Amino acid sequence: MTNASTGAARVRADLLESARVKTELAEMLSAAIADAAGAVVAAYRSGGKTILFGNGGSATDALHIAAEWTGKLGPDRPALPSIALPANPAEVTAIANDYGYGHVFARGIEAHGRPGDVAIGLSTSGNSPNVLAGLEEARIRGLVTIGLTGRGGGKLADRVDHPLVVPSQQTARIQEAHIAIGHAIATLVDEALFPEVRER
């Protein structure tokens, strides 16, 4: 095989695996994802907000999903309050410098979280110590907790109200599925809160 055909074969395999994971996700977790979306709807209806956090690629996914609420995913509608804790490098590095990196999300929840808000922690392994600490702080403070993870769920799955465990061991496939989950939740939130927009 040529380099081009070898590369094409790898791309095809990755795309097919991504599709397989999402198909299995649809069969296993559609109801759980809808339940998590319901928790976000309830928070927004009561004047609350969402707070998202994760490390590395999961940090970027947290920013992406938060932007679907402060911005928009589909038709135009009013902005919804959402904070992505990794978005402020001054805050993250100050907390890491003064308290240790394990505290960056717990401290962020302490600063911004209120009872009735929704905390969404992302960790492909389910074992990121600072994500677990952030979710624990959220539960102590009366926030509803959603965990996006993979690899069997790790420690995270048993420590949140709504565990959404992607059926994969591969980081890339898990992160791709996390964005799909985020989009699904955002769509359900829009349809519940702004039915007049959906009907345009």
Percent of the chain with pLDDT over 90: 94
CB 85 within 8 A of CB 111: no
Burial class (CB in 10 A: 0-12, 13-18, 19+), 146: buried
- The token pair at 117 is 């808000």
Q: What share of the chain is helix, strand, coil (3-state, %, to 5)?
A: 65, 10, 25
pLDDT, residue 198, reads: 64
Write the pLDDT tens digit of every residue in 49-85.
Answer: 999 999 999 999 999 999 999 999 999 999 999 999 9
Write the pLDDT tens digit of every residue in 159-189.
Answer: 999 999 999 999 999 999 999 999 999 999 9
CB 181 within 8 A of CB 195: no
Write the pLDDT tens digit of every residue in 112-151.
Answer: 999 999 999 999 999 999 999 999 999 999 999 999 999 9
pLDDT, residue 196, reads: 84
| Type of residue numbered 57 | G
CATH no. of 3-198: 3.40.50.10490
Domain residue limits, the chain:
3-198
pLDDT, residue 5, reads: 83
Question: Does residue 110 have a pLDDT over 60?
Answer: yes
Q: What stretch of H or E contains 36?
A: helix 3-45
Which distant-in-sequence residues (6+ apart) come within 8 Å of 47 by Cβ? Answer: 116
